[in-house]
């Protein structure tokens, strides 16, 4: 009886020490991997060496002439002097107001491209694709995502957001804000500005009275 107890006791102490005793210690040897899962993959790891390329580096600068997705060729705007959707470029060495919404350290106001009917139409289309699921087509923040639990969606019709400079809206789309994710990698710079321009129209139209419309605009409304 005592012998069995002693044996069990020694086994139990051994098990506890082997499991808990070495916690926090650093091992230098290669760990024993019973199931390696996907730890070893033939892939490029950033900032590591790689035998795949002749120079032994994993990271390489982009091939000469590479154009990032969603950007137009550099210099076209500066060469032509024409500032419109096709001719403008946001692919310069210095981040500009176009790219950031910032003028120095403060948000700037204004859409850095000609606001045409075409731009607004593009903005409406992009807004309805990217924003309306949460902010609703009307901008009131009651998009379908709210019904599925995203209760913090802001109403874009708030005076607080109406009062924000255009550059800040641009930056919110680019980087997200609190519980809103970033859309900079999904929406090209030109399209982000188109959305900002369209959002301004949406905000103005919210409190516009029918009496304030011109006769032609009223006729257009009735046609719809």
Least separation, in Å, of the C-beta of 188 and ligand HEC?
12
Q: Tokens 């060469």 correspond to what residue? A: 79
> How many Å apart are CA 52 and CA 106, to the nearest integer?
45
How far is 189 from 99, CA to CA, in rounded Å? 7
Nearest-angstrom CA–CA distance, 213 and 224:
15
| Structure-block tokens of residue 26 | 């650093």
CB 102, min distance to ligand HEC, A: 15
Output the smallest distance, CB 150 to ligand HEC, in A. Answer: 6
Q: Which is nearer to ligand HEC, 77 or 168 (CB)?
A: 168
Q: Which residues contact 60 (CB under 8 A, 6 or more apart)?
A: 53
61: left (phi over 0), alpha (psi -120 to 50) or beta: beta
The residue (of 111 and 134) whose beta carbon lies closer to ligand HEC is 134
- CB-based contacts of 80, cutoff 8 Å, min separation 6: 87
- CB closer to ligand HEC out of 87 and 150: 150
Nearer to ligand HEC (CB atom), residue 48 or residue 177:
177
Which residue ranges make up the site for ligand HEC (CB under 6 A)?
130-131, 133-135, 145, 150, 152-154, 156, 161, 169, 172-173, 177-180, 183, 195, 199
Nearest to 111 by CA among 55, 165, 48, 45: 165
Nearest distance from C-beta of residue 83 to ligand HEC, angstroms? 22
Minimum gap (Å) between residue 121 Cβ and ligand HEC? 16
**Residues in the chain, how many?**
224
Question: Measured from the CB atom, is 76 or 162 closer to ligand HEC?
Answer: 162
Q: Which is nearer to ligand HEC, 77 or 189 (CB)?
A: 189
The least distance separating ligand HEC from the CB of residue 153, rounded to whole angstroms, comes to: 4
Nearest to 184 by CA among 73, 100, 85, 97: 100
Alpha-carbon gap, residue 222 to 58, rounded angstroms: 62
Joined tokens for residue 74: 């550099």
């Amino acid at each position: 009886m005592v012998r069995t107890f002693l044996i069990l006791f020694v086994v139990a102490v051994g098990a506890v020490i082997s499991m808990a005793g070495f916690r926090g210690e650093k091992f230098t040897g290669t760990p024993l991997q019973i199931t390696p899962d996907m730890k070893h993959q033939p892939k490029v790891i950033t900032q590591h060496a790689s035998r795949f390329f002749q120079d032994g580096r994993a990271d390489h600068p982009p091939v000469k002439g590479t154009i990032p997705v969603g950007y137009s060729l550099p210099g076209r705007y500066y060469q032509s002097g024409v500032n419109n959707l096709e001719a403008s470029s946001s692919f310069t060495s210095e981040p500009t107001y176009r790219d950031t919404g910032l003028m120095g350290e403060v948000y700037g106001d204004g859409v850095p491209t000609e606001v045409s009917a075409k731009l607004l139409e593009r903005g409406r289309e992009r807004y309805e694709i990217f924003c309306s699921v949460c902010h609703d087509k009307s901008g009131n923040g009651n998009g379908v995502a709210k019904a599925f639990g995203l209760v913090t969606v802001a109403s874009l019709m708030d005076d607080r957001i109406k009062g924000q400079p255009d550059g800040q809206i641009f930056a919110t789309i680019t980087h997200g804000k609190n519980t809103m994710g970033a859309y900079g990698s999904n929406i090209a710079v030109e399209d982000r500005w188109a959305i900002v321009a369209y959002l301004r129209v949406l905000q103005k139209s919210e409190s516009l009275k029918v009496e304030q419309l011109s006769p032609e605009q009223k006729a257009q409304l009735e046609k719809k």
